[in-house]
A and B are shown apart, each in its own frame.
Chain A
Amino acid sequence: MNDNHMHDVLETLSRRGVPENINLWPDISARIERKSSMMALRTRPLTAILIALLALLLLSSAAYALGRMFGFIPGVGLVEQPSSLRMLETSASLEREGIRLSILNVVASPASTSIRFQVEWLVLPPATGDFDTSCQGTPSLILSDGTPLRFVKTADKFTLGESGSNAGYGYVMEFEAIPVDQSDATFSYPCIHPIVAGPLPRDWQIPFHLIPAPEGMALPVNTVQPTESIIIPVTETTIPSSLTLPAVDPAQGIALSADSFVSMDDGYLLIGSMHWSPNDFPAYGVKPIPFTGYVTIVDASGQDVPWEEVYGNVKPQNEEYRSYWAIKVLSISFAPPLAISFNVVDVQIQPIAFQFDIGSAPQAGQSWELNQDLQVAGSLIHLEKANVVSAEGNLNFQLEAQVDANTIADLKINTPLNQCMGGGGGYPTEHMSTLEIYVPTCRPDLPPGIVEMQVTGAILWGQWQTSWQP
């Protein structure tokens, strides 16, 4: 058997379906750089009145958020004030050289413009020649006065016909908002994806006209009756000097709730939140982690219910002391209610400073005993050692810490020496009592003397649970 032949065939087949010029980075980057809103921390002890006000805020914020007019458009996302939407008057298409570009729908909100379009091959050319991967250009919308509206992101993509038939493909793309006083624009699409070999027509332009969207275009977002949240107040944590505070289970200070849902043909879009009071849990921000491996959903019969991560514009803006999450339940035939459990949360805390002396000529491979105890998110951690490690000509720190493996999953430590661009990430996969924390500097050398560092956040293990039923 000649393996090379099979390899060539598979290579050709894969080239037909996947063009050379794909670029997943913008979407991946958008997914990993989603940031939770930084919350203002109340740094002073709260008075009884303030506590009462905050409690009132906490209890009423969900009702406030859910009381606003929301709608959900599949492929577009959550939209506020659906009555202000505009849509495409009639679908429009253009044919060139056996290829048809069609605008299927446009949804224009005051915040953005989403356009659903497809490219279909009316006649498949013979599979000869090279794939045309030389075209470069970004889709855009052009207003009637010539003003371009930038591409923002890809919200969805799909294929036409049977898989592998090369009948065509489609996208839902989001652009900047079309001003409310303008109803005409042109969709500019410079490059067709070369899913078949041969030259392709370029620089497509299709004008379209917007009209007010009819009522009912957006699926209703149903609010969930709030269940009672049990939040156990704790003594205010003074940090970092006091080491005598009892460890507090941080799960007790953060409540999980399911706030609203959208009924879909194949499941439910479920939107919920994590919320807390700064008096119960002193954190700048709490970020739910609705990712595979960190959430379980079980129905009333004890069966696991499938779900998937949801991206895009499907959550309300985070509010003070409330961070939203969204998942899609991939079933409509489960035994209600569902028990939803999150077991990891990412918290940003008031920075806890510590320092140590790295001497006059710090070098890679050196270590210093720290032996410092800090109270982080209600849990005692013991900083054991700091090491200097070399990477790509830069010197970075690696700290070792002993933690409660059932509470602290990871620590975020930074230093003013840090000159790196961008932030790192990663979520834990196992419980460990000894953590190795990388503290990058992106410096080829380190200044001598005292190094200041801050613990700025932590990833916590816990069990945050709520129940929900349609």
Chain B
Amino acid sequence: MNEQQAIRKLKCGDVSGLEFLVHQFQLKAVRVAYLITRDPGTAEDVVQDCFVRAYRSIRSYDESRPFEPWFMRNVINASVKLLQRSARQVDWVAGTDESHFAEVIARVDSVEEQIESMELQNQIWDAMQKLSPRQRAVIVQRYFLDMSEKEMAEAAGSALGTVKWMLNAARKRLRGLLGDTGRRSEP
């Protein structure tokens, strides 16, 4: 069975189509949600909800379109929405701006040698916690899901310029940091 067949099965009332989609996308989806919500249990709940909602709305789904981008967008939006509406974003530092985003990217520079270092991972994780849910979503979209700026803008319902601005701000910051150290990793 492939993705399109699974969706057709589901539309025809065969729930094995959903089971296929769950097994196909659950791990990536939960990891995406986890990177945004920072809580494994919450991430699983978010993804469960998204699958159940996909099941309910599958009749109106255009099966000619790939499922994964549509579903991951739902997961990201649901994760952000959950954090925005709940008190779980208490650790979001008010006034956080794109410099935190840039800081996260900048720290990646040293990952080349230390990617196995839990300490560094924790530092990056901590840095990510200082981002707003939407900023975390942008990072996850760009660097974890490898989405293009255009895809990110479409998914967020934002102008392309807004996404470019966020990414450019990070890159500019990174270039500055790289200049300080004399290192260069950008192609």
A residues adjacent to B (C-beta < 8 A): 1-3, 5-18, 20, 22-25, 27-29, 31-33, 124, 126-128, 157-159, 163-164, 169, 195, 291-292, 306, 309, 391-392, 396, 410, 420-430, 438, 440, 442
- A1-B171 in contact (CB<8A): yes
- In the bound complex, residues from chain B placing their C-beta under 8 Å from that of A24 are 22, 26, 30, 44, 47-48, 51
- In the bound complex, residues from chain A placing their C-beta under 8 Å from that of B49 are 309
- B44-A10 in contact (CB<8A): no
10 closest A-B pairs by beta carbon, nearest first, are A424-B13, A14-B31, A163-B38, A440-B12, A6-B143, A127-B118, A157-B41, A10-B144, A422-B15, A426-B59
- Give chain B interface residues in 122-165, CB to chain A under 8 Å: 122, 124-125, 128-129, 139-140, 142-144, 146
- B14-A420 in contact (CB<8A): yes
| B116 touches which of A124, A128, A195 (Cβ 8 Å) | A128
Pairs across A and B, CB under 8 Å, 25 listed: A7-B146, A9-B108, A11-B144, A13-B128, A17-B43, A18-B30, A18-B31, A22-B44, A25-B19, A25-B26, A28-B51, A31-B52, A32-B52, A127-B121, A164-B38, A169-B41, A291-B56, A392-B8, A392-B9, A420-B12, A423-B15, A424-B15, A425-B56, A425-B58, A440-B13
- B15-A425 in contact (CB<8A): yes
- A1-B185 in contact (CB<8A): yes
- B8-A391 in contact (CB<8A): yes
B interface residues, tally (CB under 8 Å): 69
A336 to B: closest C-beta gap in Å: 22
Interface assignment of B65: CB less than 8 Å from any CB of chain A: no
Known A392-B9, A396-B12, A422-B16; contact A5-B30, beta-carbon cutoff 8 A: no
| A8 touches which of B35, B115, B125, B129 (Cβ 8 Å) | B115
Complex Cα distance A195/B115, Å?
Answer: 17
- In the bound complex, residues from chain B placing their C-beta under 8 Å from that of A20 are 27
- In the bound complex, residues from chain B placing their C-beta under 8 Å from that of A422 are 13-16
Q: Is the interface of B mostly helix, strand, loop or mixed?
A: helix
Complex Cα distance A427/B60, Å?
Answer: 9
- A10-B19 in contact (CB<8A): no
Interface assignment of B186: CB less than 8 Å from any CB of chain A: yes
- Looking across the interface, which residue of chain B has its beta carbon closest to that of A423? B13
- In the bound complex, residues from chain B placing their C-beta under 8 Å from that of A5 are 108-109, 111-112, 115, 185
Complex Cα distance A3/B57, Å?
Answer: 35
Known A2-B186, A17-B34, A22-B27; contact A424-B12, beta-carbon cutoff 8 A: yes
- B55-A32 in contact (CB<8A): yes
- Looking across the interface, which residue of chain A has its beta carbon closest to that of B40? A17
Chain B, 1-14, contact with A by CB distance < 8 Å: what is the 0/1 string? Answer: 10001001111111
Known A28-B51, A28-B52; contact A127-B117, beta-carbon cutoff 8 A: yes
- A25-B22 in contact (CB<8A): yes
Complex Cα distance A127/B124, Å?
Answer: 15
- In the bound complex, residues from chain A placing their C-beta under 8 Å from that of B129 are 163-164
- B13-A127 in contact (CB<8A): no
- B143-A164 in contact (CB<8A): no
- B15-A9 in contact (CB<8A): no
B32 to A: closest C-beta gap in Å: 8
